[in-house]
Chain A
Amino acid sequence: MIEVRLRIPLSEFELSVALDLAGPVTALFGPSGVGKTTLLEAVAGLRRPLEGEIRIDGELIYSSERRFSLPPERRRFGLVPQDALLFPHLDVRANLLYGFRNGGALSLPSVAEALEIGHLLDRRPSRLSGGERQRVALARALLSQPRLLLLDEPVASLDVELKDRVLPYVKRVRDLHRIPTLFVSHDAADVLSLADEVVVLDRGSVVDRGTPRTVLTHPVARGAFFKGRFENLLESRVLGHEPEEGLTRVETERGLALSIPYREAPLGERVLLGLLAEDVLLAKEAPVGLSARNVFEGSIRAIEEQGGVAMVEVDAKDSIYVRLSHGAVRSLELRVGLPVHLIVKTHSIHRLS
């Protein structure tokens, strides 16, 4: 159990959180610049909060009231920063052994094997690829026998292909070593595949928390994603396949039928689908002669405008969020309650799990 209560003033807002995290794997979720990394650094002891208290399994780590702060070297929290931060003047082996602590469950050969970095031991960090760096940084943190792992966007800086290679390692670490983990992410798919619990941060405050599926498919987490790329998450079931058309038919829990790109999957399998709000078209009248496969009727439940953009929530059995420009909302004279049609290309919908 990790108890974190912190206040840290940032340049534009104040980070202020009070959390009890049961884990074992907790995700801090939210768009960039809301204080996720700051929170992680404060827990690691790299940044002094204005006030607050941190405990792990009841042990006091930091308390502003008692003027107590356990120095970072005695916290035993393994930090893996977003950019890996390997020691450039040391080879991989020396990096891994920098914080090595004897007597723990983890040894260099076992960790190197699990993360497939055994062949890199004599290399300099400058001769490693991005995915290799992340794995070495993770191994280095593990070998210090941490009682808590702190991962900052463990896979975010990687492209999709690399991500598919690193993610399994993070999962393996989670399953093999059972080290409580707090990780930062702005990617819903990563959170879904790794975390037991998710905490949604926005401008320094906790706006929602719960299991990843309930939080991320629920509209409350949405406010946080106004600025960034917002993804509609649709919990669905496979209904049938039309391989000759390259399609798989699915239906969401609330009965919205969708066509997605063909993918082998047994009938009835549950899949989680992602659909970017900016990939949805909105029409006031029923469109005709369209190539897009997914056209559904619905009505506008809410319109939220901020900056030059608007998020339109459409009730089409499921709630679908559509991102439009301010001007589009004006010229179409959109208002709450108005019946509309949504148009989605098959290939705009992708599987997250």
Chain B
Amino acid sequence: MKGMTIIVKKTVQLISGLIFLYGIYVIIHGHLTPGGGFAGGVIIAGAFILQILAAGSDFMKLTKEELGSTMYENLAIFVVVFLALSGMLFGAKVFFFNWLPKGTVGELVSAGILPLYNIFVGIEVAASILTIFLALVIFKEEMPE
């Protein structure tokens, strides 16, 4: 896959950082405003996909990137399961128990363990969407003509 013109490349360099920040905002405000781990994760993956589409696949070492994103995805889902299990260690012996202090409704640090779920599910979703895209691109590169 070839890259696009210099206009597209420069615009993507300016914009993709803002998209990345917006994804992080959607994730960490997931328990206050609409959004959450799933939506924010896909937005973050979109920032990376924009970069790869604009710069072309020969620009970056994509196989290395794919190894990293696969690792992040597996670690994130592992942490989500561990957080769900941690309810069994503290307080009531219930799977998915919200054992952290709740705080005041409406503040950024509140709602106990829910923001942590949001963050790790966000990492997991971003890494999996990016991994699927990278796998498709690398398959196209490796395919014999």
Q: Do A and B come from one complex?
A: no
